[in-house]
Structure 1
Amino acid sequence: MADVVGILFKRSTVIKQTTGDSSQVPSNQRLNVPVGTFLILQSYSDPSNNTNHYKFTLKNLQFKGYNTWYAYAPDVQVTQQPLHPVQTLGEVVSKQTEKNVAKILVDKKTVPAQGSFLKLVFNVDTIIKRKPVDAQFLNDDSKQTIPAGTQLVLATDKPDANNVVKFPIEDSHVKVTFTDVEFKGFNKDWYVFMNHSGIQRLG
């Protein structure tokens, strides 16, 4: 299994276009990233060279038009790890009677009162889209390449009385909303081919 090099967010933080105080950085040059996010890197440089910040370049990925960012070193960890495929949403749905939703079991008693508790794990390089159609029919503003190994935190409802969180399925795509992280100006209503990713608990 191939290894990937990525940056793990150990706590929720702000990535920036400079090493300055995030409160002084314009909104179009900073991005909130929630704890538990794991992004695949093309390259990075040591914090000792950048006033206690990692400078990193994302692999095949941009936020707000930039693929190179700074992150405060104590908030993140750069790590190399094997690419571990998880159970796909397609496999989850194949075991269900209902085919228009993916049902993820989550024990309500273990869910925090505030904050996110699920993440989307990408098993393969894929494209997320604004509509559940083949990516070739969408313009660049309506799609985003996501590298294998990426883990993005999801904004969801709390589990229902049966300890289930439901995600809509349309034309073999799951519809998701990401916590804070935006692609092409949107964090809501992205579609992911259900055989390319799976949903797991954070932590």
Structure 2
Amino acid sequence: MKVIVKSDTWFKLSPKSSNELTDLEKVIVKRGTELEVQFYVEVGADHLKIKLANATLDSQQTKDWFVFKPDIEVKGSGVELTVVSDTLFKLKPVNSRELSDAEKVFVKRGTQFELSSYLPAEGNHTRVALSNQFLGPNNRNTWYVYSPDMKVTGDKVDLKVVSDTLFKARPELSSQLTADEKAFVKTGSVFELQSHAPAPNNHVKVALDGAFLGSNNLTTWYAYTSDITVEGNEPLNKPKDNQPANPKDPGRAIRLPGFTGLYYLNNSIVPGGSFTWGEATHAGTRIPVDQSIVYGMIRVAQHMEEIRKMFGNRPISINSWYRDPVTNRRVGGARFSRHLNGDAIDFNIQGYHPSSVYAKLNGWWGTRGGLASSSVFTHIDVRGYRARWSYGY
């Protein structure tokens, strides 16, 4: 990622007003300057701490600087919002008539913004964080937008540190690692990711994009699941799958790897439950290749039974459940989609827009796995760490 200086500004060695610092503690940087950065950290309400990727400033050899937020723009992988109808940016995802003038801003059709993130929100809204562009009387950069009034292009995935933590070279207790095998990372740090995946001992394996940490300048690390959140949609992750009609009772018999006996397509996965092996296996056309996938199906089915109760036992239709690698590529799934593991479901709840389902489940689901929505389905998975995204359609 990089920062673009929007106004002549001071890069500072501490997040203070420039008139409180000596000449040795600040460097003037001209408008239009572009600098590659490894990552940034939110510091208070109005500063960012950035780590330069290679350049040094003036006679200072440090790569760590504090900058006043409104004076710079952080540009990542080119996620852009285009307003397709005259609309209002709002502080809450509600009808604009319920908001005061100070809680909404008119934005004309054709206006474009670079985004640092975007996520689903209640009532067919999207929560957008503008990339250091500030609107309204209180100069805010986070707003809710009615989703049909906007279009998002481009994708990226960010890792956000939500608690001071150690990035580790191995997924072990920090006491078992040498100083060279760990790097301290502060709350509020944001990194772009190349990839992320579950790892042993409640860890996530992350590959940082362009950030080199620790004494050995590593880009691949393990982080504790509760200390991070992953936000953003992976490139080319635009799944469009469909579910055939449920078979008639009891349906065709199938065999599942690692399990004895026969299972019937219209039998419930959870005894007495509402979700069937036919829904999990696409009417028996996608049989799991190993036992771990079957266990993934069972785990997510148990959570889906909880969700059904949360929504008053309303009917739930399944768009997509288990996908083998060939099917996953054909329908446009992510390269490392959890559907490949059997522990992910795309679904709809009768009478609820997918973004409202997402909003209701978000806090409840917490760090147990991934949650996302498009305009036509909600996604949930049991990966074991917090991941959130919008599909952008």
TM-score with structure 1 length normalisation?
Answer: 0.45
TM-score with structure 2 length normalisation?
Answer: 0.26
Larger Rg: 2
The structure, 1 or 2, with the larger RCO (C-alpha pairs under 8 Å, 6+ apart) is 1
Larger proportion of strand: 1
